[in-house]
Structure formats: structure tokens, C-alpha cells
Amino acid sequence: MKLAIVGATGQTGSVIVDALLKSTTPKFEILALTRPSSLQKPEVVDLGKRGVAIVAADLGGTEDELAKLLKGTDIVISAIYGGSVAAELSLINASKAAGVKRYIPCFFATVAAPKGALMLRDMKEDVLNHIKNIFLPYTVIDVGWWYQVNLPRLPSGRIDYVAMETTDGIAGDGDVPFALTDLRDVGRYVARIIADPRTLNRMVFAYNEVFTHSQLYGLLEEISGEKLERRYVRAEAIAASIAEIEAAEPSPDSVEFVTLAKYQYWYSCGVRGDNTPEYARYLGYITTKELYPDMEWISLAAYFQDVIGGKGERVYKHLQDLLTVSNAKKA
């Protein structure tokens, strides 16, 4: 199966490529569409060594050029930065022109209303509507909230090496359930979903387990033996922060944009309760629980044990650096 991917070295793209390279049924022949300026980056060179064909491609170029690159490709995956999904439109048109059999737009996030809950989701809906407008076969894949961005710190500091700056509170009263997935499982889900005829022209929700924030804190206390501080952020306070940042119309590459996205995720998952299998089914998703009842996944408890055992890995390193610099400036 011939597959092309944009964003192969990103946080989501890299776990997808890892899983695709491991897959044997089907076997994927992978093409990484790479910005000309990134061809010499170590992670790109490394991909090449691992059997991924690296091709220079510019999403800002002509659709004809992109279509030529995609000739004969079965599946195209976009795993670009969520703030730049509008840049996908040329790739989508080129995929249509090239006769691509299935296009996977950059979703890979929590379940939310198509419009009005998350700015990032709103932007993705516009992309999906364009796909539908040109009758391009597609599959939308959402994956819930990552364990990795929901890891509270421990008072002892022993998991600070992996905890994110952004995980510093509980949204609302902490009693709203949401679906969680280990980032390390995302690639395996994607590899299976994109080769499944049942998921063509459908939205699929891949997730591991459902927890409330209170339950998640309780579980980490149980496993770590430490007592966690619970800093609740009231729904009204989150809404006020969202309104304040929105009013300033931050650009997609700013710290403010990232902070806005964080608060919107909090509100959608922790207050509105959007990110659940029940709401997903209502919105038309099929879930991986129905599709692949045999499939194994990493439990939240196992993830906590890994992290406490020193086997955790920090995600969004560049984003962490950005936030650290920004906070240092404020201080």
C-alpha cells in the first residue's frame, strides 16, 4: 500500500510512521513529503535510513506539482501543525487530482462539536467540508486526550522530567468523564484504521480509557503513594480566560494561541464533557472499541508506572521551550 505523509517528524506524525513501518499486513511503502528547507534535519535523515522515501514538497507550490508526486499513492495522511490545517487545501486538491483512494486530514485530537467548541476543531471542520465538497474519499481519526498531556506533577518532583507546563490544574469540578489515549498507541490505531474498508468516509474515534480528572488524580496517588495537590479552575474562570485571549486574536504560532487551545480543551473536555465515546457516537463516529475489540492498549495505570519508573518521554518539547521562555520573560 503506497502512502504519503506530511508532518512525518512531528509529535503525532512520528508515532504514526513508527507504527506504519512495523505493520506487516498491510505493508506500507511510505513517502514523507518534506519541506525543502528540512531535508537535512537529523530526524528527516533518520527517517530516510529507516526506509521512508523522503521527497521535497512545498504545500504552497502548485497543485499540479503535488499531484505528480502523489500519482499512484493509495493513502495520504496529513499530520501537520493543528494551527496550519488551512495549508492542507492544496494537498487535498492534489490528492483528488492524483486519484488518491483515501485522505486522512489532520484531526488526531479530542472529540468536540464541529463548530463552536474548539478553535482548532472549527478550522478542521472547514478542511473536512472542502474534502466533502470535492468528493474525495477520506477518514477522520480522532484519538481523545493524550495521557502525556494530562500527567499531574508529584510533590516529590520525581516525574517533573516528563510533566508538561500546561498540566497545572483541574478543569471545573473534576467530575466530568473524558476519553484518554496513550500517544504511543496512536500509531497502531491509525495503521489499522486506514487499511479498514469499514472506516472509509467515516469519522473514527480511537481511545483507550475513560476517566474523570478526580479519578485520574486518585489513580496516580494510589500508584505513587504520594498525596497530590488539586488546583481546581472554575468553569467561569476558564471561560473568562478564553474570551480574553480570543479578543486579542493571537496568531497560530504564538504562545497565546497555544494557551488559548489549552483552555479550550479544558473547557470542552472538562466542563462541556465533549470528549466522550457517547458524544462521539452521537456525532457519527465509529469507535475502535466496536471496530477492534481484540486490540490491546496501554492502560493509564501502566503509563503512570512507566513514568514513575523513569521510562516516560516528554512530548511537545519545542512547545515546552516556548512556554518556558515566555514565562521567564514574564517573571
Active-site residues, by number, are: 124
Rule CB under 8 A: is residue 289 a binding residue for a copy of itself?
no
Q: Give dist(CA 201, CA 203) in Å, integer.
A: 7
Q: Which of 156, 227, 282, 317 binds a copy of itself (CB under 8 A)?
A: 282
Q: Please provide the distance, in angstroms rounded to a whole number, between the alpha carbons at the two ends of the chain.
A: 52
Residues 31-60 that bind a copy of itself (CB under 8 A): none
Minimum Å gap between C-beta 321 and a copy of itself is 35
Q: Which is nearer to a copy of itself, 37 or 133 (CB)?
A: 133
Rule CB under 8 A: is residue 227 a binding residue for a copy of itself?
no
Q: How far is CA 307 from CA 7, 168, 220, in A?
A: 27, 17, 11
Rule CB under 8 A: is residue 99 a binding residue for a copy of itself?
no
| In the block, residue with C-alpha cell 490544574 | 169
Task: Name, in order, each residue with C-beta under 8 angstroms of 292's C-beta and a sequence gap of 6 or more.
Answer: 192
Q: Which of 33, 67, 100, 117 binds a copy of itself (CB under 8 A)?
A: 117
Residues in contact with a copy of itself, counted by CB under 8 A, come to a total of 20
Q: Which of 145, 207, 211, 279 binds a copy of itself (CB under 8 A)?
A: 279
Q: Which of 283, 302, 319, 322 binds a copy of itself (CB under 8 A)?
A: 283
Rule CB under 8 A: is residue 319 a binding residue for a copy of itself?
no
Cβ atoms of residues 210 and 145 within 8 Å:
no
Cβ atoms of residues 155 and 227 within 8 Å:
yes
Minimum Å gap between C-beta 246 and a copy of itself is 17
Q: Which of 99, 284, 301, 321 binds a copy of itself (CB under 8 A)?
A: 284
Rule CB under 8 A: is residue 101 a binding residue for a copy of itself?
no
3-state DSSP helix/strand/coil % of the chain, to nearest 5 = 45, 15, 40
The three cell numbers of residue 269 are 473536555
Task: Name, in order, each residue with C-beta under 8 angstroms of 134's C-beta and a sequence gap of 6 or more.
Answer: 92, 93, 96
Minimum Å gap between C-beta 121 and a copy of itself is 11
Choose one: 12-20, 94-102, 132-140, 218-226; the region binding a copy of itself (CB under 8 A): 132-140
Minimum Å gap between C-beta 149 and a copy of itself is 24
Rule CB under 8 A: is residue 97 a binding residue for a copy of itself?
no
The three cell numbers of residue 328 are 521567564
Residue 229's identity, in one-letter code, is E
Cβ atoms of residues 111 and 144 within 8 Å:
yes
Geometric angle at alpha carbon 51, from 13 and 185, rounded to 5°: 35
Residues forming the site for a copy of itself (CB under 8 A): 113-117, 125-126, 129-130, 132-133, 135, 137, 201-202, 279, 281-284
